Amino acid sequence: MAIQIFCPKCKSSWGLDAKSCLKCGASFGRDKKYRVCISVRGQRVTRVVDNLTLAREAEAAIKGDLVRGEFEINHKKKPVHTLNEVWARYLPYAKEHKKSWIDDLRYYRRHLEPRFGNKALDAISPIDIERMKSELKKGLNRRGKPFAAQTIKHQLVILRRLYNLARNKFGMYDGKSPMESVEMPRIDNQKTEFLTNEELTRLLDTLDTWPFRESAAFIKFALLTGLRRGEMFKLTWDDVDFERGMVTLRDPKGGKTENIPVSIEALDVLKSIEVTSSFVFPGKDGKQRVDFNGPWQRIRKAADLPEGFRLHGLRHHFASTLVSAGVDLLVVQKLLTHKDAKTTSRYSHLAPGAIRDAALKSGELLTPKSKSNVIKMGE
């Protein structure tokens, strides 16, 4: 550490006893300037001041700053990663730990990457995210329809997950997540869909005459079993036991392999399919199918079903039909492979007859037999 006389003309520095600059010859008068220079491990902090008193004060101040670590001379500032860099770490992780990673990939490429991909994590603000929410609410999807509230929420969930993993698992970020200041929209997921008798008749008539028999079989099997789309995509012929009337669902949404019984009608649908692949409902080149939206929309329109009726609605219709016929909710829960009974309870209101009958019968069941006999004798 040192204080030297500073030559403003040639920017050189000399000892305190120098009378003139040895480089350019400039004389040092009463108005000479001083340079404070502190070097640590090859890096320097310098200040130029107007007199020797200020130079000594500056030297003491810089020493104090170094003690408090304000200059961080020994450490270079850690660069902040971009969202794309975090995504590159996340995608392999998601493929291993998340069944719906393909949805995350589609949403990221379409909505998050164009807006935030090249931005550093600390440069994405809550206002930026709120702006995206507003744009999506006003925007239209590829079918020309407004984005569903669940779609908008999915973008926020992905963004929140990326920040959390970057901080807590990947060690790529130690700042604050902007998602902490963004309110997540509330979504009512208790949508229960079912077909009227007329709609069901039109759908079955359409399927019976549909030229693409594989697509018709897919929808019939979904209607007769209530299986999820992804479970049917993964279904192989080895998973079908025609003798016992069972199908094996491997790695379903609940995470545990399940064996569930299916009806004779459902098995007849499978028997009508021409075997061309190890998958029961194969996609392109016999590989596992990854989407069925196109065929479903064409069949839905041909059957004149409500525009908003989803393929997943067939699963709801399956459950609604069973519950309305008096099938116990616990049985329906097993057939739907629901882990939580609360998920199945959404169908409880669809069995008013069974509930009424139970209420009427409760009087008889809850009356002690001795009391019941007394009542009868006194009548």
Q: Six-digit token pair at 255?
A: 């995470």
CB 105 within 8 A of CB 162: no
* Amino acid 142: pLDDT: 81
As a whole number of angstroms, the distance between CA 145 and CA 177 comes to 31
Q: Calculate the CA 320 to chain-centre distance.
A: 28
CB 147 within 8 A of CB 136: yes
3-state secondary structure of 302: helix
As a whole number of angstroms, the distance between CA 236 and CA 255 comes to 18
Q: What is the pLDDT along the chain (379 residues), one digit of tens a residue?
A: 578 888 888 888 888 888 888 888 888 887 788 888 876 555 567 888 788 888 888 787 777 766 565 555 444 556 789 999 999 999 999 988 887 888 899 999 999 999 999 999 999 999 999 999 999 989 888 878 888 888 899 999 999 999 999 999 999 998 899 999 998 877 655 555 778 889 999 999 999 999 999 999 999 999 999 998 989 999 999 999 999 999 999 877 656 788 989 999 999 999 999 999 999 999 999 999 989 999 999 999 999 998 888 898 898 888 888 887 778 878 888 888 777 777 677 666 655 555 556 666 656 666 565 544 544 444 4
For residue 136, which of 158, 117, 110 has the smallest C-alpha distance?
Answer: 110
As a whole number of angstroms, the distance between CA 28 and CA 30 comes to 7
3-state secondary structure of 291: coil
* Amino acid 241: pLDDT: 95
Q: Six-digit token pair at 65?
A: 């700053």
CA angle 208, 210, 214 (to 5 degrees): 95
For residue 125, which of 188, 59, 179 has the smallest C-alpha distance?
Answer: 179
Q: Six-digit token pair at 230?
A: 């992804």
Q: Calculate the CA 3 to chain-centre distance.
A: 59
CA angle 207, 211, 216 (to 5 degrees): 35
DSSP string, 318-371: HHHHHHHTT--HHHHHHHHT-SSHHHHGGGGGG-HHHHHHHHHHHHHHTS-HHH
| Residue type (1 letter), 254 | G
pTM > 0.75: yes or no: no
- Sorted by where each begins, the domain ranges of the chain are 2-68, 83-181, 197-355
CATH of domain 197-355: 1.10.443.10
Q: Rg (Cα) of the chain, in Å, rounded?
A: 36
